[in-house]
Amino acid sequence: MRATGIQEELAAANLKCELMPRWTDETKTSINFWVDPRDHRKYSYGWHKLEDIRAWIRGEGPIVKQA
């Protein structure tokens, strides 16, 4: 998880959440994260790919709840 730098990216974007990593399969080459944002009114929790979290930082993607 540290190697991805995602915690620092979230901190820089002032997005607060709990993250829990897990390998996607036994090859241990890809990782998913359980994302639990602090603001459940605006953001969805669940298992997400690193790309989804980076989209969230840009204000896009499946973590951002649609109006």
Q: Measuring CA to CA, which residue among 62, 42, 43 is closest to residue 52?
A: 62
Token pair, residue 25, equals 């399969």
* pLDDT (tens digit per residue) in 11-29: 999 999 999 999 998 998 8
Q: Is the dihedral of CA 13, 16, 18, 24 positive or negative?
A: negative
Q: Tens digit of pLDDT for each residue in 27-60?
A: 988 899 999 999 999 999 999 999 999 999 999 9
What pTM was estimated for this model as a whole? 0.91
- Distance of alpha carbon 59 from alpha carbon 3, whole angstroms: 23
